[in-house]
Amino acid sequence: MATILAIESSCDETAAAVVVDGRRALSNVIASQQALHAATGGIVPEVAARQHLRAIVPVVRQALAEAECSWDDLDYIAATAGPGLPGALVVGLNAARGIAFARGLPFIPVDHIEGHVCANWLLPDEPPLPALALVVSGGHTELLLVAEDGRMRRLGATRDDAAGEAFDKVARLLGLPYPGGPPLARLAATAAPSRLRLPRAWLRGSDDFSFSGLKTAVQQLLAAPGAPPAADVALAFEESVADVLATKAARAASREGVAALLLAGGVAANARLRARVRALADVPVVIPPPILCTDNAAMIGAAAYRHLAAAVSPAAPLDITSTRARSLASLAVTGTG
Ligand code: KG4
Ligand code: ZN
- Structure confidence by residue, pLDDT tens digits, 157-200: 999 999 999 999 999 999 999 899 999 999 999 999 889 999 99
Distance of CA 67 to the CA centre of its chain: 23
- The string of pLDDT tens digits covering residues 249-304 is 999 999 999 999 999 999 999 999 999 999 999 999 999 999 999 999 999 999 99
Which among 136, 214, 267 is the best mutation to test ligand 1's pocket, defined by most ligand atoms within 8 Å of the CB?
267
Ligand 1 geometric centre to CA of 71 (Å)? 33
Does any ligand 1 atom lie closer than 6 A to the CB of residue 83? no
Tell me how far apart the alpha carbons of residues 314 and 293 are, in angstroms, rounded to a whole number.
Answer: 24
Whole-number Å distance, alpha carbon 84 to ligand 2 midpoint, is 8
Q: Ligand 1: does its nearest atom lie under 6 Å from the Cβ of 142?
A: no
CB 301 within 8 A of CB 17: yes
pLDDT at 325 over 70: no
CB of 82 sitting under 6 A from ligand 1: no
pLDDT tops 60 at residue 334: no
Return the pLDDT at 43: 84
User: What is the average pLDDT across 110-129?
Assistant: 95
> What is the C-alpha to C-alpha distance for residues 135 and 263, in angstroms, rounded to an integer?
6
Q: Are 136 and 266 in contact (CB under 8 A)?
A: yes
pLDDT greater than 90 at residue 335: no
How far is ligand 1, taken at its centre, from the CA of residue 1, in Å?
33
CB 6 within 8 A of CB 16: yes
Burial status of residue 104 (CB atoms within 10 A of its CB: 0-12, 13-18, 19 or more) = exposed
The predicted structure's pLDDT at residue 176: 96
Model confidence pLDDT, tens digit, residues 36-79:
888 888 888 888 999 999 999 999 999 999 999 999 999 999 99
Nearest atom in ligand 1 to the alpha carbon of residue 171 is 14
- Cα of 229 vs centre of ligand 2, distance in Å, is 31
- Shared fold status for 3-118+295-323 and 126-287: yes
Residue pair 26/128 in contact (Cβ under 8 Å)? The answer is: no
Question: Average model confidence (pLDDT) for the chain?
Answer: 91
Paired residues of 131 in beta bridges: 146, 260
| Ligand 1 atom with minimal separation from the 163 CA | 12
Query: What is the dotted CATH code of the domain comprising 126-287?
Result: 3.30.420.40
Number of neighbouring beta carbons within 10 Å of residue 279: 10
pLDDT band, very low/low/confident/very high, at 336 (cuts 50, 70, 90): very low
Give me the residue spans of the domains in the chain.
3-118+295-323, 126-287
Q: Is the pLDDT of residue 337 over 50?
A: no
225 C-alpha to center of ligand 1: Å? 31
Q: Which atom of ligand 1 lies at the shortest distance from residue 294's CA?
A: 3
Q: Give CATH for domain 3-118+295-323.
A: 3.30.420.40
Residue 5: Cβ within 10 Å count: 31
Residue 142 has pLDDT above 90, yes or no: yes
For residue 164, the ligand 1 atom closest to its alpha carbon is 12
DSSP secondary structure letter of residue 195 = -
Whether 164 is in the pocket of ligand 1, judged by its Cβ within 6 Å, is: yes
Residue nearest to atom 19 of ligand 1 (CA): 181
Instruction: Using the mean position of ligand 2's atoms as its centre, give its distance from the Cα of residue 251 in Å.
Output: 24
3-class SS of residue 260: strand
